[in-house]
Amino acid sequence: MKEAVLPPQRRLLLIDDDRLQARLVQQQLKAFRREHFHLDWAGTYEEGLPLLLSGQHEVCLLDYQLGEKDGLELIREAKAAGCAVPIVFLTAESSSDIDIEAMNAGAMDYLVKGEISPSTLERSLRYALKLGDTLAELNRLATRDELTGLLNRRELNRILSEESDRSARFGRPFSLVMIDLDHFKSVNDQYGHAAGDLVLQETAKRISRHLRRTDRVARFGGEEIAVLLIELDEAQAAEVAERLVQEVRQAPYVLKNGTELAVTISAGLATLPIVAQTDLELLEAADTALYQAKQSGRNQLVIAREDAVRRAD
């Protein structure tokens, strides 16, 4: 006789200043029929927010009353920090408008504390998880390039604008690297578009694995890739960009039929505020440096300067 296979355990975060509520939720979780949760409990706003932002939990139950601050403030702060964890809001009264405010703030669902049962809690958590997955997929489709999985140009422009404003506000540099695959048209012409797609995908992988989590990489269009190096000055960014050029050329790309291709890239680097004051100026400077790299022989990095464009050694 085969043993019953338990469903995979999910991590649930409860943020509630009532210890009895935490015990009640723990007991209700044990009565679930389909889902299996491990409960972590935070009793204060200050304890709960960093746990929610840690990314360790798949779903969160959040109470409205949290001392001097409330759950609505916590939702807004978490969403502003980029939190994507589905949140189910807990309210004390069914007649209150707080539940509507919570949904408007970004909660996936709400429950009235006095009416919670194991079945309603399980249903609400399952609904929040499903809706969270759906929204995450929609966001991926809206912000990612389908072929490479990199960010798309629209999302790059949004991030570029944000980072430009942040750089101006806090006086921190950041750099943009514009990359172009050398002689890419000849790959498509000689080996077909499927080979060209493979080259783009492999280039995206090689570039991405040499970046930090805080950096951003996007398919700018065609065979062009843009890399945002957050809070790196020109010298630091040049080291990273040179490594990217070397990473692409150091090993041949292997097509599905076994053919080996020697692939190289050209790159243009611009740093704010050295050569630009706005995101548009930064993009123009990096693009100009890229053009210089291609015009002067390809397979190299060129750094944009305010008075001139010099080739990196």
What pLDDT, on a 0 to 100 scale, did the predictor assign at position 99? 77
What pLDDT, on a 0 to 100 scale, did the predictor assign at position 211? 92
Average pLDDT, the chain: 89
Q: Is 41 helix (H, G, I), strand (E, B) or coil?
A: strand
What pLDDT, on a 0 to 100 scale, did the predictor assign at position 73? 93
Counting residues of the chain whose pLDDT is more than 70, the rounded percentage is 94
CATH number of 153-311: 3.30.70.270
The burial class, CB within 10 Å (0-12 / 13-18 / 19+), for 180 is: buried
Does the global pTM surpass 0.85?
no
3-state secondary structure 272-301: ECCCCCCHHHHHHHHHHHHHHHHHCCCCCE
Q: Is 9-143 a domain of CATH 3.40.50.2300?
A: yes
pLDDT at 4 over 60: no
Confidence of residue 81 (pLDDT cuts 50, 70, 90): confident
The domains of the chain are located at: 9-143, 153-311
What pLDDT, on a 0 to 100 scale, did the predictor assign at position 95? 58
204-222 per-position pLDDT tens digit: 999 999 899 889 999 998 9
Confidence of residue 1 (pLDDT cuts 50, 70, 90): very low
223 is catalytic: yes
Options 223, 224, 234, 242, the catalytic residue: 223
Long-range contacts, 38-44 (Cβ 8 Å, 24+): 38/9, 38/10, 38/11, 38/12, 39/12, 39/14, 40/11, 40/12, 40/13, 40/14, 41/13, 41/14, 41/15, 41/16, 42/13, 42/14, 42/15, 42/16, 43/16, 43/17, 43/19, 44/17
What pLDDT, on a 0 to 100 scale, did the predictor assign at position 185? 93
**Residue given tokens 């069914």 in the structure block:** 94
Rounded mean pLDDT of 267-296? Answer: 92
Confidence of residue 168 (pLDDT cuts 50, 70, 90): confident
What gap in Å lies between CA 88 and CA 103, rounded to an integer? 9
141-163 per-position pLDDT tens digit: 888 898 999 999 999 999 999 88
Confidence of residue 123 (pLDDT cuts 50, 70, 90): very high
